[in-house]
Amino acid sequence: MIGRQVWVTPPSGIRFAKRGVFDISKTYQAIRSFLLDHHYSLRNFQEKENTSRRRPEEFGEVIFILQTAKEVDDYARFHINVDVRINKLRKVVVGEMTMDEGFFQVYIIGYVFLDYRNKWQRSSFSAMLSKIYNNYLIKNKIENEYQGPLFGEVCGLRDAVKESLDLYPYYHGNV
Determine the pLDDT at residue 64: 85
- In angstroms, the CA 29 to CA 26 distance is 5
User: Above 80 in pLDDT, residue 129?
Assistant: yes
Q: List pLDDT tens digits, range 38-83.
A: 999 765 555 555 566 665 556 788 888 888 999 999 999 999 999 9
CB distance 113 to 86 below 8 Å: no
The answer to whether 158 touches 8, Cβ cutoff 8 Å, is: no
Which DSSP string corresponds to 133-152?
A: IIIIISHHHIIIIIIHHHHH
Determine the distance from the C-alpha atom of residue 13 to the mean position of all C-alpha atoms in its chain, rounded to a whole number.
8
Check: CB of residue 84 under 8 Å from CB of residue 108. Answer: no
Domain boundaries, the chain: 5-168
